[in-house]
A and B are shown apart, each in its own frame.
Chain A
Amino acid sequence: MRNSTIARLAGMLAVAFLLMPLSACDEILNVNNPAEIGVDDLATTELLDAQVNGVLAAVAEQMSGDEEANTQGAAFMTDEQLTGLNWEDWQRNNQRIVNYNEGPVGQVWSNMSEVIRNGIGALEKLDELATDPSSDARVALVSAMVGYGHVWIGEAFCQAVFATSPDSLGTTLYGPTEIMAFAIPHFQRALTVGAAAGRADLVDLANVGLARAYLTIGDLANTIAHAGAVTPGFQRWVEYSDADDALDNNLFNEVHGSNHTVGMSPWFLQGTYGDAPIIDTQTDPRIQHASDFATGHDASTLLYKPYQGLRFSGYTGETLAPPSAACPNCTGANEGNGDDGDVLLFQKDTDVLLADYVEAQHHMYEAMARQGGNDAAINAFVNARRAVGNEPPVTLTGSALFDELRRQRGRDLFMGGFRLGDLRRWKREGIGDFFPSGAHPNPDRPPAVYGPWTCFPLPLSEYEGNEGLQKPADPFTPPAGII
């Protein structure tokens, strides 16, 4: 038993010896995470600019930074583009067949929500830490971006929900015009603070946003007022870079290489889909495209790659079509291989207009057209835009004038992230249903028939991450009564 006693004592000593480092446990377990910062450490003036830039980064990503961007996936339900993506759910999206767990739905919602939530978070920090938030240009800028976040959601989504903080999620579903109403105060703050900061460009940005939001809401007077206040020549760009470690314009990837994925829809194609070449008829520089089709990622859909239109920084106004009697101003530009001609495919550093004077003019004239009685002014505007497209002037009235106004809007804003909102607004207002319907241009990608969706549903991730929401009973059918 002597051994036993010694053993017991030794055992206890060993245990004591082993437990010594427990006191140092926390220190041993300290690890570094140099890639990230805790949100609790953001409340410092040194990080304010980076937080503001974070909002701009989210805007850039949503505008044209990935496949789900406004210029791409978010527009696939419209008549602007055909996708040559091999992914079936994206193809269905291009056929207006959507459900809450397919295609770009989740990422579109995430990107747009980040603009809002990250923007509001940045505004909270600016309000807390900035020297004078009421005249701080950063406040105006971020407020405008938060406004645009709401505008994009209102234009793309059937319904939406908004959080007041990451831990306090919203439970009320809002329809498109209600969503637009949420944008108004943010633009108005941008207007006020931008003016106080002496930043006319931010004031213009806010006015364009307000006009866009009011047009959707149907407040035509305010649309005209704010659009009319925009300075001629105003442009606000969303910038991209060709540096590998910075965000590039994803449209570059969509039109380059063997797996290119974007082509012009027949509705915007100047020629007959499936014929090649069709260069002779390309007279409008705003909607030009490669003269030959090529199949891309899905090795099936005939894709006429789009060239940069008016919303993009590489737009030159030159036409592939040569001068002719019908088009004396056509330039007969060199197409090259699309990368090195006078007209260009999208490049990595192609910037995209977020808002500009031309857009504001379209908001204003559509509002005036819907008010009625402004035919002369509208005809003048329409003809100015037709001139950009090398089209002769016209004098129109009534629905024909509105149709031409719509047509010019479609071309001026081509691939700029407006089309879905426009089609929905026109359908909702009873102006007409201009969504593509019937047979899809590619009969080889089933079901090859356009479906009924006009907007994106909230994604499954929102329902699963937000306990206050109830999943729709039938995610395959559009919510009733919402356009």
Chain B
Amino acid sequence: MQFSHRLRAWLAVAASALLLTAVGTEAAWAQLGGTIRGTVTDVATLRPLSNARVILVGQNMEARTSDAGSFEFRNLPQGQYTVRAMFIGYSRVDRTVTVTTGQVTVVDVSMTRAPVQLDELVVTGTAGRTEIREIGNSVTRLDVGDLAEVAPIANLNELLNARSPGLTMYKNSGLAGTASNVRIRGAGSLNAGYVPVYYIDGIRFESGNIATLGSTNSTIQNRSPLEFLNPGDIERIEVIKGPAAATLYGADAAGGVIQIITKKGTRGAARVQWSAGFEYGQSSWVGETPTTYYWCTATRRANTSGNYPGCEDPSSVVWEGPNGPVTGIPEADILRDAAWGEDFVITDNPLARHPRGIRAGDVYDFRMSARGGEQMFNYYLSFNRMDEEGVFFNNFQERTGGRANFEFTPTAKLNLGLNFGYTRNKLGMPLSDNASNGLLRNAYRGRARAFNDRWEPGFHGFGPDQSNEFDLTIREERTTIGLTANFDPWSWFENRLVLGMDKYDVRETNFYQIDSTAKWSGGFNGQGSITQRLPVTHTWTVDYSGSVRARLSSEFTSRFSAGMQLNARQYRRYTTTGDGLVANAVNLIGTASQTSASEGFNEQTSLGFFLQEQIGWRDRLFVTGAVRIDDNSAFGSEFELVAYPKFSLSYVISDEDFFNLPTVDELKLRFAWGQAGNAPAPFSADRTVSADIVVVDDASVNALRPSEFGNPNLKAETGSEWELGFDASLFRGVVGLEVTYYNQVTNDALMEIPDAPSSGFNGTHLTNIGKISNKGFEVLATASPVRSPSFTWDLTAAFSTNSNELVSFGGTRDEVVFGAFADVQRHREGYPLGAMWSRDVLRDASGVPILDGNGNATLDTECAWPDTDDPDGRGGSCHEQYEGPSTPTREFGLSNTFTIFGNLRLFAQLDYKGGHYQYCAICEIRNRSNQNTWEVANPGADPVDLAFYETRQTITTIMSADFLKLREISLSYTIPSSVGGPFAAGRWSLTLSARNLWTTTKYNGPGDPEVLWSRSTTDGGGTNNRFEVLDYASVPPPKRLTAAINVNF
């Protein structure tokens, strides 16, 4: 992306003006003076509160408490100050003190647990820093430091899961480094992507799941764009959930916004605060590895085609056992029954028996950080290293990163922040899911040693020794840098400018060694081949907002805000391939006998402006109106600007004199309505042709072929939402409650219409014609039933529902049918997006499947949709059955913490998702195609049942996917400093943790109810890929056991 000269000039002038103003302002603390020192403790437990925020009101000075709860401000001019202590989960405390030059003023603060903090400042979805009490929409805040205290958190996905009501997270696969699928308040878009927008300290960063080489054909799982974040660097996360809250983010944000605020330095602390932690553990396969069965019928026992040696002579088959090759299938693995006659069944569990099938992978994590500062500046520095081995031998992740955050306050009116993060990540990704040479797929589909499927008995194709040779290494470098300037020239005029860049460099190396056995497909793969793909993504952010506060009367206040945001993303990808290597060790591209190269590029720029006016009444009622105007490079040439309005109301009714409910401490009622957009993909508006190469008379020549059909009227989707709710603190701070009902409609939804191939174009184009709705409840409840110095009990429950519906296709089509392996999913008007529909076989009047002359059952394929006779069932003209949605309609997360004597903590997190269905594609394929499940390999089974299972019926393979998981359980112990020795100098804690230890589910497939196969992506690959839900040899989330030690001093 090239910034225009005009823009660059404008930015330079703005930056210079700010700098000059800052320099010209009188320094507020040019002299030495007195000191304020103190500690912050929990009033109930009497324990010190570490990392609490302490500020001097109106002085632009801030400190963080140490592990001992202490803080300090030095060199203060003589005078009166208001010391304000704030901590998530506690009521704000103000203390007014007088400072005398050369004296130390001690201020000890006891804070009371308060689950609802209306005075807390948030920065997401607002025009500048805004107190919760002023905001009419719900904002979820996650205090990451607090969460990390009780259980290790490996990545952002683990952090967000089951903690924010309305945020649905699916871990697509249990492979290390793979992505999760994130939705907030359901899918509001078919084609523009429903993923939230991510910011880190105000800087937009690349957050769509990353398709690796091979991802698009579902052989490699997508990898996570969030892995660069070290959870130890995160201070807190703010989540806003829909258009009503995200209006100020404009044409990208209808899917919600997740803002990550990283840790900053501490000022005034007596010394540098060091923190270090080391964690070791193992990830291992959870549940059973696949068992296969093979029925040796008379035909197979005769083995006239040479295809079934295991059936002909089980004693002659050579297979790989745990300790090496074994000749003969053990009798224990052969099922016989007198009723079966000569027939028998061979059983196998190839992954369990093979020594190079799966492993318990090691996990190491080391983190250290330092934070400190003086009166005018502070800093936070960190380093982390994480190694994780996946359950497959060629799956691993190695992450090394660091962060440096600086803040500089040259005057009381200006605060400058520089945030810099850098991470290197190295990933090894195996073939998975639908890869023909993938290990798990072949273990599921093998013939139980009855047939030598080319190389490994029991595997359907490649076994471990071949599949583990697959070598795809991904090296990522992620650099985020941001400059934030807060400039408040007068108390009533606030300005914030954020400039930033996220740079994401990747090198993917796919290396096929020279293979003399011609096992690997496609010619050159066997002669040695190496591909280097180098995508680089730059994302720039320019974000300015300014607010002018005014007191209109004794009761009314005004806050007028305006701002602009420029986001620019540029993606460039080079791919080079060298085929035909002279030796495996000589593998630079240029050394290959044949080389090729390609390049990909796209860019997208959005520019938006907003105006906002907020009227406050007696600091308890706030009415906010705003409008955001957007333009985007992806809009069609016939479309200009889009405007998104917003209105919200917040009323702290508990501040009223008439409010007198004894159990209610604080109550805020809120309402918000707003709009936000979802922009189409880059270049999707233009009708284009693209370059190709064709051979004419033995020479390669350029050619032009149709590419994009385009749509000149293309614009962003408009998500409209209203939400209504309240925040309440009950029973003297024991219970906190945030309840929200939302109703969201996406108008002008982008629908992907196939280009009629007779037009010469062969793809799809977008049109703004659809309508989608999402409705639901969200409840976030926190409770501290017991708080005493010896025992505390803290609970957090997050519950949400979502009802999703495709309201209209805009008259363009009746439905979209899709699904891999079987057409089980539909986008159909009146039903959830991507809902599951099953088909049965033809049955007689008594419900028994009808068999034809060959003994086969027949799939009932009759369908004339729309079916007015019986829309949901098979009674009408369309013999399909609506099973249900493919994504959860209800979720519940429960976190429970017991703290005993302040030192011993027991934490457990339960995660429930339900109301949805999973398609077990691997079940169906095994039944029908491989015939290696007990359902079809049981010689004693009813022939009608056998015939039934071997059809393409899906009534038994679409299953309820409700599950309840013990997602995390941990025990941590903080060694008392009274123990002495090294423990006196700092705060030491030990943690034992287990993840994914237990699951109960209605899903009866061999995999896991929450996996998504690799073609499921959130930000590309076509409409249906975003909604494809199926289990096809995806690795279940592993069980992870770890031990960690942390020290702060």
Contacts and interface: CB of A to CB of B under 8 A. Distances in A.
18 contacts: A7-B558, A11-B546, A21-B7, A29-B632, A29-B633, A33-B688, A50-B702, A113-B758, A166-B761, A239-B695, A241-B700, A256-B521, A295-B454, A299-B461, A447-B854, A464-B753, A465-B755, A474-B862
A415 B552 CA distance: 86
A36 to B, nearest CB: 4
Interface string A37-60: 111101000010111011011101
Given A38-B687, A42-B689, A11 B548 contact: yes
Number of chain A interface residues as a range: 35 or more
A86 B438 CA distance: 14
B562 A465 contact: no
Interface in A157-174: 160-163, 166-167, 169-170
B929 interface: yes
A27 interface: yes
Interface in A10-34: 10-11, 14-15, 18-22, 24-25, 27-34
Interface stretch (A114-122, A379-387, A402-410): A114-122
Given A8-B560, A31-B605, A464-B753, A259 B595 contact: no
B631 A29 contact: yes
B701 A53 contact: yes
Contact of B594 (A7, A14, A53, A242): A242
A325 interface: no
B328 interface: no
B758 A35 contact: no
B162 to A, nearest CB: 37
Contacts of A446: 856, 928-929, 950-951
B684 to A, nearest CB: 11
B98 interface: no
B520 interface: yes
A449 B951 CA distance: 14
Given A33-B683, A259-B437, A302-B305, 8 more contacts: A3-B550, A14-B546, A35-B601, A53-B702, A169-B756, A170-B758, A295-B453, A464-B754
Contacts of B307: 302
B705 interface: yes
A101 B564 CA distance: 47
Contact of B704 (A54, A462, A473): A54
A246 B760 contact: no
A286 B480 CA distance: 63
Contacts of A11: 546, 548, 560, 562
Contacts of A241: 693, 695, 700
B597 to A, nearest CB: 7
A170 to B, nearest CB: 6
Given A29-B607, A113-B758, A259-B436, A243 B594 contact: yes
Given A28-B607, A88-B821, A21 B689 contact: no
A31 B682 contact: yes
A8 B550 contact: yes
Interface string B743-764: 0000000000111111111100
B707 interface: yes
B316 interface: no
A54 B703 contact: yes
A114 B760 contact: yes
B179 to A, nearest CB: 26
Contact of B705 (A101, A118, A297, A474): A118
B817 A166 contact: no
Interface stretch (B196-204, B410-418, B522-530): B522-530
A297 B817 CA distance: 26
A270 to B, nearest CB: 18
Nearest to B561: A11
A33 B521 CA distance: 34
A465 B756 contact: yes
Given A8-B550, A118-B760, A24 B4 contact: yes
Contacts of A465: 753-757, 759
A102 to B, nearest CB: 9
Contacts, number: 302
Nearest to A27: B4
B705 A244 contact: no
Contacts of B520: 257-258
A348 interface: yes
A18 B695 contact: no
Interface of B: 1-4, 6-7, 10, 304-307, 436-437, 453-454, 460-462, 492-493, 518-523, 525-526, 544, 546, 548-552, 558, 560, 562-564, 566, 577, 579, 594-598, 600-607, 609, 611, 631-633, 682-683, 686-698, 700-709, 753-762, 812-813, 817, 821, 823, 854, 856, 861-862, 864, 928-929, 931, 950-952
A437 interface: no
A114 B1 contact: no
Contacts of B460: 299
B454 A8 contact: no
Contact of A259 (B521, B601, B861): B521
Given A21-B10, A110-B762, A257-B525, A53 B704 contact: yes
Given A88-B929, A241-B695, A31 B604 contact: yes
Contact of A53 (B522, B598, B696): B696
The residue in B1, B3, B690, B704 that gathers the most chain A C-beta atoms within 10 A of its C-beta is B704
A217 interface: no
A244 B757 contact: no
A461 B757 CA distance: 7
Given A161-B758, A244-B579, A466-B756, A258 B693 contact: no
A60 B552 CA distance: 75
The residue in A19, A30, A33, A243 that gathers the most chain B C-beta atoms within 10 A of its C-beta is A33
A244 B594 contact: yes
A235 interface: no
A38 B760 contact: no
Interface in A448-483: 449, 459-462, 464-467, 473-474, 476
A424 interface: no
A199 interface: no
Contact of A258 (B461, B492, B546, B606): B461
Contacts of B704: 37, 42, 47, 50-51, 53-54
Nearest to B864: A473
The residue in A32, A106, A121 that gathers the most chain B C-beta atoms within 10 A of its C-beta is A32
Contact of B760 (A7, A29, A42, A113): A113
B511 to A, nearest CB: 16
A274 B466 CA distance: 27
B523 A15 contact: no
A205 B601 CA distance: 40
Question: Lowest 6 A-B CB distances belong to which pairs?
Answer: A117-B760, A257-B521, A244-B596, A465-B756, A53-B703, A36-B688
B879 to A, nearest CB: 12
Nearest to B7: A28
A456 to B, nearest CB: 12
A253 interface: yes
A270 B298 CA distance: 29
Contact of A299 (B454, B526, B595, B703): B454
